Structure 1
Amino acid sequence: MTQRFTGRAALVTGAGSGIGRAVARALAAEGANVVVAGRRRGPLDETVALIEEAGGKALAVTADVSRAADVEAAVAAAVDRFGSLDVAVNNAGVLDGRGPVADVDEDAWRRLIDINVTGVFLALRAEVRRMRTQPGGGAIVNIASRIGVHSRLPGTTGYAVSKAAVSVLTRGAALDHIADGVRINAVSPGPTETAMSLRPGETEAQRAERMRSEVPLGRTSTLDEVAAAVLYLASDDAASVVGADLVVDGGATA
Structure 2
Amino acid sequence: MNRLAGKTALVTGGGQGVGQGIAYALAAEGARVAVAGRTLESLEHTCAEIRRRGGEAQAVGCDVTRPEHIERCVAQVLEGFGGLDILVNNAHIVPLGRLLEVSEDAFQQGWDSGPLATLRLMRACHPHLKGGGVVVNLASSTAVRWDASGYGAYAATKEAIRSLSRAAACEWGPDGIRVNVIAPHALSPGLAGWMQANPEEARAFVQGIPLRRVGDCENDIGRAVAWLASDEAGYLTGATLPLDGGQAYWG
Q: Same fold (TM over 0.5)?
A: yes
- Report the Cα offset of residue 228 of structure 1: 1.6
Matching residue of 2:110: 112
User: TM-score scaled to structure 2, two decimals?
Assistant: 0.92
CA RMSD of aligned residues (A): 1.9
d(CA) in 2 for partners of 1:122, 1:152: 32
Structure 1 segments of 4+ aligned residues over 4 angstroms from their partners: 149-152, 198-202, 204-208
Q: 1:150 to 1:201 in 2, by over 3 A?
A: closer
1:143-181 deviation per Cα after TM superposition (whole angstroms, max 9, x unaligned): 111122576631111101011111111111110101111
SS in structure 1 opposite 2:143? coil
Contact 1:95 1:196 in 2 (8 A): no
1:111-153 deviation per Cα after TM superposition (whole angstroms, max 9, x unaligned): 1101011111111111113222xxx331110111112257663
Contact 1:148 1:162 in 2 (8 A): no
Q: Structure 1 residues 147-156 or 120-129, which shifts more?
A: 147-156
Q: Superposed, which structure 2 residues align to 1:1-254 within 5 Å?
A: 2-96=1-95, 98-132=96-130, 136-148=131-143, 153-190=148-185, 192-197=186-191, 202-203=196-197, 206=200, 208-223=202-217, 224-254=219-249
> What letter is aligned with 1:4?
R
Q: Structure 1 residues 14-23 or 98-107, which shifts more?
A: 98-107
- Report the Cα offset of residue 66 of structure 1: 1.6
SS in structure 1 opposite 2:33? strand
Structure 1: where are the runs of 5+ without partners?
none
- Report the Cα offset of residue 195 of structure 1: 3.3
SS in structure 1 opposite 2:142? coil
Structure 2: where are the runs of 5+ without partners?
none
d(CA) in 2 for partners of 1:171, 1:152: 25
d(CA) in 2 for partners of 1:198, 1:245: 25
Number of residue equivalences: 248
Identical positions, percent: 38
Contact 2:26 2:223 in 1 (8 A): no
- Report the Cα offset of residue 204 of structure 1: 7.7
- Report the Cα offset of residue 188 of structure 1: 0.8
Contact 2:118 2:137 in 1 (8 A): yes
Q: 1:24 to 1:250 in 2, by over 3 A?
A: same
Q: 1:144 to 1:201 in 2, by over 3 A?
A: closer
d(CA) in 1 for partners of 2:163, 2:27: 29
Contact 2:29 2:226 in 1 (8 A): no
- Report the Cα offset of residue 31 of structure 1: 0.8
SS in structure 2 opposite 1:147? helix
User: TM-score scaled to structure 1, two decimals?
Assistant: 0.91
Relative contact order, higher structure (CA 8 A, sep 6+): 2
